Amino acid sequence: MCGIFGFSGFEDPDLLPKMGRALIHRGPDGEGYYEDEAHRFFMGMRRLSIIDLAGGAQPIFNEDRSVAVCFNGEIYNYVELREDLTAKGHRFQTRSDTEVIVHAYEEWGRDCVRHFNGMFAFAVHEARTGETFFARDRCGQKPFYYHQSAGRFIFASEVKALLQCGHVPRACHVPAIDAYLALRYVPEPRTMFEGIFTLPAAHTMTLSRQGEITIERYWDISLTEGPPASGAGFLDETEAMLRQAVKLTMRSDVPVGGYLSAGVDSSLLVAMMTEFSSQVNTYSIGFNSPGDETRDAAETARLLGTNHHEIQCTPGDFDDLRKVIWHMDRPVGDALIMAFFKLAEGAARDLKVVISGEGADEIFGGYSFHKVTLLAERYQQLMPGFLHDHLAMPALRAMPVEFLTKFFVFPAKLGQEGKARLVDFMGNYRDRNIFENYIALKTLWPRESRAAAYTPAFKAMATAAWIPSVRDTGGNFLDRLLKIQWDEWLQDWCIIRQDKNTMAHSLEVRLPFLDHHLIAQAFRVPPHLKNNGFRDKIIERQIAARLLPPEVTHRKKNPFFLPMEFFFEHPQIKTLIAETLNEDRIRQRGYFEPAYIKALLEKMETREFVTLKQVMSLVILELWHQVFID
């Protein structure tokens, strides 16, 4: 695990060290630099040593040093690839997974990425041609940012390294604020920074010696056409693939631990980890609130025999929110980023590598909005339009919020705002496509609320141009819904919170559920074995039942969220809100109407789920401006 960085098209002898210092948290164990002055290409890296501790320093070269690589991530199948490449005549100087990349590039060219099983962002430079090849893993587990203008090209694992270059503007891409409010993140390849982009997940980029870039997708999810297949054999195949993914992600020259919540995802992973290690350290995060799942997590740890550690996130930890936002680079509009930071901080006291369960919900249909959308789709197919308009919708509008709250998956008040979202979702479902319904159900800030909050000047700038095109390629409804998440939600919402917060503490996080063989298998699994509208992750729970007791596998999914209804009255959080959302600040930015924000803050006293989350998304947006722009 490392941080990589570099530039082309100009010379600056001080820039590489400055970029490296900005990324020292990603790699405190060493640094390395590469210069091709003939082609004006320069790159470097900071190293967190995990594989081949003594010999894996970068950059790493091929036999005649004509090809060099700087790499961030892990190639889990490097042992098998090394054997294959050695048989083809390649000579290795180290035992590191990094060296596999340079020889694979020699052997297969740009198609080398198709041979890699892992998480990666890397740069391979050819001194003979002056061409540079960049690649990012299939799910976007490792970040890659770049800026290009006036013949200059700059890249890095984090934006803060790009900003060390005087040619990179330090400015907000103002239209992206609309996307941020709608989604709580800015979908790639855009970022909140003007002129700074991501290399999208599952894409490669080629930089020619003339400074031109070409970007291509090399991997995509394939949806199964036709009627659902039989469930026979899927259980054994899926279990075998998951076990192999866990085994590969545990390859390391340092100890590997695991994040452990009360849910089935992390419990199943840890159960499999204990098959390959006699002692596993596990870590869980709590909030000292009624929805806290640390007690259940501790019981699971006891059953699995792990060395368990419990970490608490308290309102006082919000003193570190500015630091967390600095590490995040791109604002993610949910205070839960604070918990990811604290959890990583605790695990990093003991470890360099930890395994986590991200990806299971995305491939097996584990989110509450998957269930709701499935049921809504079936309802719309069965319910005649006249009855929907004149009976069902009036009944829903008249239903007390207190009654709806009982069916709300979060242990918090649904509130009037939450009810309004549900009414809008059901009332306009037939008029929207699958992506629009996906957004309508999840958004904190629907279009009408955003328009009401904006000043007239900002409203003219806040376009809907950020809405990604829907690559709806057929297949069953559930898989189409799951596939939507692959082009933005997964890397821009889920993974970024893990990568940036673990690397803030020089900790590597590995995600077995995002093994691309397992992903392909999951999309072959029939929908009724994933989510039937009432039960989620059905096949995963069946696998878990073979390894875990019923009280774990049948445990109701407890959404992982920060309980702001218990936190917001704490003096430190009240001070934070007052410092970021006061009238002077709001007027200074010019984005929002001060009267609207004042009314929103007053509504916090209702402790409604949506209102509290809206406020924190605005706090994070303002802090991001203070940290990166001001």
Active site residues: 2
CA angle 255, 257, 259 (to 5 degrees): 165
SS3 state of residue 563: coil
- Tokens representing 150 are 């006036």
Cβ atoms within 10 Å of 110's Cβ, excluding its own? 14
For β-strands 281-286 and 256-259, DSSP reports them as parallel
Instruction: Please say whether the beta carbons of 48 and 72 come within 8 A.
Output: no
Per the DSSP assignment, residues forming a β-bridge with 257 are 354
Instruction: Please say whether the beta carbons of 411 and 291 come within 8 A.
Output: yes
C-alpha–C-alpha distance, residues 302 and 502, integer Å: 25
- Tokens representing 402 are 């207190």
C-alpha–C-alpha distance, residues 117 and 73, integer Å: 11
Amino acid at 580: T
Amino acid at 375: L
Determine if residue 201 is left, alpha or beta; phi over 0 gives left, psi from -120 to 50 gives alpha, anything else beta.
Answer: beta
Instruction: Please say whether the beta carbons of 513 and 366 come within 8 A.
Output: no
C-alpha–C-alpha distance, residues 13 and 44, integer Å: 12
Instruction: Please say whether the beta carbons of 352 and 508 come within 8 A.
Output: yes
C-alpha–C-alpha distance, residues 234 and 530, integer Å: 11
- The answer to whether the peptide bond before residue 446 is cis (omega within 30 degrees of 0) is no
C-alpha–C-alpha distance, residues 208 and 627, integer Å: 34
* Residue 191, phi then psi, degrees to nearest 5: -130, 180
* Residue position matching structure tokens 């940290």: 627
For β-strands 353-355 and 256-259, DSSP reports them as parallel
C-alpha–C-alpha distance, residues 32 and 54, integer Å: 14
How many Å separate Cα 360 from the centre of its chain? 13
* Cα Rg, the chain, nearest whole Å: 24
Sign of CA dihedral 290, 610, 488, 23: negative
145-149: strand order across its sheet: 30-36, 41-47, 2-8, 152-156, 145-149, 197-198
SS3 state of residue 307: strand
Nearest one of 226, 228, 246 to 238, comparing CA atoms: 246
* Residue position matching structure tokens 């629907």: 446
Residue 414: which residues within 8 A CB-CB, separation 6 or more? Answer: 401, 404, 405, 408, 422, 608, 609
Amino acid at 621: L
Instruction: Please say whether the beta carbons of 171 and 629 come within 8 A.
Output: yes
DSSP character for 290? Answer: T
For β-strands 203-207 and 152-156, DSSP reports them as unpaired
Nearest one of 50, 97, 72 to 158, comparing CA atoms: 72
DSSP character for 110? Answer: G
